[in-house]
C-alpha cells in the first residue's frame, strides 16, 4: 500500500483500545486509509460497555492503561470469556520478556510504538489470513452457522441455500448484532457502492431475510428497522437459542 493511496472499503472492523488519544487517532486514520473501519475505545471497560468482542473483527490493544491493563484484559477475555477475536498488541513495552508475556497471554502479534503504517497493515492482514487458514472459519450465532470459506449457511444444523448477497448481508449483521447498522454502511461494505445509490434494494433484501431465514424473530433473532438510521439485529429475549458465544 502506498502512503498517498486510499484503499477501497473492506468488510472488517478493527477495534483500537488505547487510552492515549494521539496514538488512537493515528491508528484510526491509518486504518481508514487502508479501508478498514476503526472504532476507538479509551479503556478495556469502555470497549466492554460500548461494544464487545463479537462486534469487531480484530483488536489493536495497548498494554499500559489506567485501571485494567491490556494484558489483564486479554488474559481475562481468552481464559474466562473464551474470546477468539484476534488481538495485536501495540505498545511502548519493548523488552523481550514483555513481548513474550504479551504473546503468551494470547496476543496474535505484537508491535511496539511508533508503528509504521505499511507494517501495521501487513501484520493485520497476516493475522487475518492465519486465522482463516487455521480453521476459525465457521462463525456461529446459534442456530446460525456461517462457513466463511465455503460461503455456506446452516441453520439448526441443516444446510440452507443463500445467495452470495444474502450470505454477506446476514454475516455482516450477525457480526454487528446489537448495534445499529446504517444503510450507508451496508451499501459500502456489502454492496460495495457509494451511499448516493437508492437504498430500496437494501430494504427488499432485509424483508427477504426476515421471511426466508426466520429473522422475524422465529429463529431467535429479529432484524429490526431503526427509524431514519438503518437496521439492528437483536436476539429475541427468552428465545431458546443457545447462548451467544460472543456475548
Question: Shortest Cβ distance from residue 58 to other proteins (Å)?
Answer: 19
Told to check if 26 binds other proteins by CB under 8 A, we report: yes
Told to check if 236 binds other proteins by CB under 8 A, we report: no
CA 8 to chain centre: 17
Residue 29 or 148 with smaller CB distance to other proteins: 29
Q: Of 9, 11, 33, 245, which one interacts with other proteins (CB under 8 A)?
A: 33
Sign, Cα dihedral of 167, 170, 174, 176: positive
Binding string to other proteins for residues 89 to 128, with x set by CB under 8 A, is what?
Answer: ---x--------------------xx--x-----------
Whether 220 and 239 have beta carbons less than 8 Å apart is answered as yes
Residue 64 or 156 with smaller CB distance to other proteins: 64
Told to check if 238 binds other proteins by CB under 8 A, we report: no
Q: Of 1, 9, 11, 25, which one interacts with other proteins (CB under 8 A)?
A: 25
Residue 10 or 222 with smaller CB distance to other proteins: 10
Strand residues in 43-172 grouped as ranges (E): 58-61, 87-91, 109-112, 138-141, 144-147, 152-155, 158-160
Helix residue ranges, H only, 80-213:
96-104, 117-133, 164-175, 183-186, 200-213
Instruction: State the Cα–Cα distance between residues 247 and 243, nearest whole angstrom.
Output: 8
- Residues near other proteins (CB under 8 A), total: 20
Q: Of 1, 9, 32, 193, which one interacts with other proteins (CB under 8 A)?
A: 32
Residue 2 or 158 with smaller CB distance to other proteins: 2
Q: Of 203, 202, 185, which Cα lies nearest the Cα of 194?
A: 185
Sign, Cα dihedral of 188, 191, 194, 198: negative
Q: Which of residues 51-80 bind other proteins (CB under 8 A)?
A: 62, 64
Q: Half-sphere exposure of residue 87, counting CA atoms within 13 Å on the CB side?
A: 26
* Polymer length of the chain: 247
Residue 184 or 224 with smaller CB distance to other proteins: 184
Q: Which residues bind other proteins (CB under 8 A)?
A: 3-4, 6, 19-23, 25-26, 29-30, 32-33, 62, 64, 92, 113-114, 117
Amino acid at each position: 500500500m502506498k502512503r498517498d493511496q486510499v484503499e477501497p472499503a473492506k468488510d472488517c472492523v478493527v477495534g483500537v483500545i488505547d487510552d492515549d488519544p494521539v496514538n488512537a487517532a493515528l491508528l484510526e486514520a491509518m486504518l481508514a486509509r487502508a479501508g478498514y473501519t476503526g472504532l476507538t475505545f479509551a479503556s478495556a471497560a469502555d470497549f466492554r460497555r460500548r461494544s464487545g468482542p463479537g462486534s469487531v473483527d480484530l483488536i489493536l490493544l495497548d498494554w499500559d492503561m489506567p485501571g485494567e491493563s491490556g494484558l489483564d484484559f486479554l488474559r481475562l477475555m481468552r481464559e474466562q470469556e473464551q474470546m477468539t477475536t484476534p488481538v495485536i498488541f501495540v505498545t511502548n513495552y519493548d523488552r523481550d520478556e514483555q513481548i513474550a508475556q504479551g504473546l503468551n497471554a494470547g496476543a496474535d502479534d505484537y508491535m511496539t510504538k511508533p508503528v509504521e503504517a505499511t507494517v501495521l497493515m501487513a501484520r493485520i492482514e497476516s493475522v487475518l489470513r492465519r486465522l482463516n487458514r487455521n480453521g476459525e472459519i465457521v462463525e456461529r450465532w446459534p442456530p446460525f452457522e456461517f462457513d466463511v470459506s465455503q460461503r455456506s449457511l446452516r441453520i439448526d444444523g441443516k444446510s440452507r441455500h443463500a445467495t452470495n448477497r444474502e450470505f454477506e448481508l446476514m454475516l455482516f449483521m450477525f457480526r454487528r448484532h446489537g448495534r445499529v447498522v446504517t444503510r450507508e454502511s451496508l451499501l459500502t461494505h456489502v454492496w460495495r457502492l457509494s451511499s448516493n445509490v437508492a437504498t430500496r434494494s437494501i430494504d427488499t433484501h432485509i424483508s427477504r431475510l426476515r421471511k426466508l431465514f426466520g429473522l422475524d424473530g422465529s429463529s431467535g433473532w429479529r432484524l429490526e428497522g431503526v427509524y431514519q438510521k438503518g437496521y439492528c439485529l437483536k436476539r429475541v429475549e427468552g428465545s431458546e437459542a443457545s447462548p451467544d458465544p460472543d456475548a
